[in-house]
């Protein structure tokens, strides 16, 4: 299953549930996202040709991050750019989420393990603004 979280017309998150399945290569993100996210399912014997990536200059204006929940349950709260609460989703083991815009916060409903992927280098406190949620 695939779910897009919207704030008006803007995609603020894409949730790929652990049971998502589709043959071949499927991109979830539009070309203008600074973080690209895809799913692949190929049969045994499928060959992906060896390759190297070219040096391509890219300009990133917004950090977008991908979380892979390896274990546990995680509540994700979504906020607009003015820090107003929008809605929440519960992620479970094996789910993947791309956080593409707006704000977000988390609550571990069980002990969790997750992997985070985002553009680097990480800028520490200069990378984000923490806030008290408006409900």
Calculate Rg over the CA atoms of the chain.
16
Q: What is the pTM assigned to this prediction?
A: 0.90
Average of pLDDT values for 77-91? 96
Compute the half-sphere exposure of residue 73: CA atoms within 13 Å on the CB side of its CA.
5
- DSSP states along 37-81: -EEEE--TT-------PPP------S--EEEEEEESEEEEEEE-T
Q: What is the pLDDT of residues 4-46, one digit of tens each?
A: 999 999 999 999 999 999 999 999 999 889 899 999 999 999 9
Residue 39, number of CB atoms within 10 A of its CB: 15
User: Dmax over Cα atoms in the chain, in whole Å?
Assistant: 52
């Amino acid at each position: 299953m695939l779910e897009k979280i919207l704030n008006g017309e803007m995609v603020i998150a894409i949730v790929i549930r652990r049971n998502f399945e589709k043959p071949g290569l499927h991109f979830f993100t539009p070309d203008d996202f600074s973080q690209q996210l895809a799913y692949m399912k190929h049969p045994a014997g499928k060959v992906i040709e060896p390759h190297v990536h070219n040096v391509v200059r890219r300009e990133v204006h917004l950090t977008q991050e991908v979380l892979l929940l390896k274990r546990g349950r995680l509540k994700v709260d979504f906020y607009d750019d003015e820090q107003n609460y929008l809605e929440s989703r519960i992620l479970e083991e094996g789910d993947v989420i791309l956080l593409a815009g707006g704000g977000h916060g988390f609550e571990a409903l069980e002990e969790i393990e997750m992997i985070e992927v985002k553009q680097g280098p990480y800028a520490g406190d200069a990378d984000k603004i923490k806030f008290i949620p408006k409900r």
